[in-house]
Each structure stands twice: as C-alpha cells, then as structure tokens.
Amino acid sequence: MLTATVCVALSGAGLAVALLTAWRRRFLRAVRVAAVSLLPVGLYLAGLITMFRKIGEAVGDWAAGLVLKPSVWLGFAVLALAVLLYLIARLASGRSGRRAERKAAAGTEPGTAVAPAAQPGPRQVEPKKTKAGKNASSEFDDIEAILRKHGI
C-alpha cells in the first residue's frame, strides 16, 4: 500500500513538472518528462517493483551468507581453481601448437629431411634505370651484401 502511494506521488509530481514545462512552450521536453514520470506507476502496476525488492532481499541474504559461511568461500576457491586450470591448459595447447608449426616450417619434425638452403642465382630481370641514370639495383647493393653475409 505504501509502495503504491509513493509511486503515485512520484508520477503526479513528474506530471506537474511536465505541465509547467509545456506551459513554457517546451513541448518536446514536456513529453520526455511526462514519459519518465509515468515509469513509477507503470513499474508498480506491472509488479516489477515488488520483484526488484525480492531480488534485493535475495542478494542481501546471499551476501550475508557469503561473509558467514566458509563453504561459500570454498566454492569460490574451487571456481577460481577451475578457471586457472582451464587457462593453463589453453596456454599450454597454444604453445605446443606454435612449436609444431615452427618445426614443420623448419623441416625438423621426425621423418622429414632438412632441405639445403637455396643459393642465390643469377638475376633474370635487367635492372631499371632511374631518372638520375643509375641502376635501381645499386640502391640495394648494401642490403644484398648484408643478406649474403648472413647466408640468406
């Protein structure tokens, strides 16, 4: 009964503010205020206010039990352990998958032969001339020397 009275009072006050806003010729704002002011009565009539009260009481009871019951803390510890084990397994499977990919790319898996590194062959394309008349490949001579030095 008290809940209904409070909801009707809130809606009435909101509708009064909406009327004053409309009196000032701010009709769009007045409609918005009226829409918001009708929410308390609508929530009460739909039974949602009592539902929210019951949910609040249930959460409060659970929180009180959380503080006072060691079995609840043990439950959280078990949940944390389960999440930790799952993450460790996922991390380990990701690493082993990457290792297998590296071995396959390098050809060092058992039963595969290691192919010798390819030697650089003769050029098949003639170097292009730049505007200054120099060979375009001369710009890359330093890079080629470094690559040859490292056997690439």
4's tokens:
């209904």
| Residue numbers of the domain that contains 93 | 69-105
Classify residue 23: in a domain, yes or no: yes
Q: What rounded mean pLDDT belongs to the chain?
A: 81
Nearest Cα to 122, choosing from 137, 134, 143, 139? 137
3-36 as b/e: b if 16+ CB within 10 A: eeeebeebbeebbebbeebbeeeeeeebeebbee
Does residue 146 form part of some domain? no
- What is the per-residue pLDDT across 63-96, written as a single tens digit (0 to 9) for each? 888 777 888 889 999 999 999 999 999 998 877 6
Co-location of 3 and 34 in the same domain: yes
Task: For residue 130, tell me if it sits in a domain.
Answer: no
Give the C-alpha separation, 48 to 59, whole Å: 16
CA 25 – CA 16 distance, rounded (Å) = 14
Query: Is residue 151 predicted with pLDDT exceeding 80?
Result: yes
Residues 76 and 55 in one domain: no
Residue 90 and residue 64 share a domain: no
Are 53 and 95 within one domain?
no
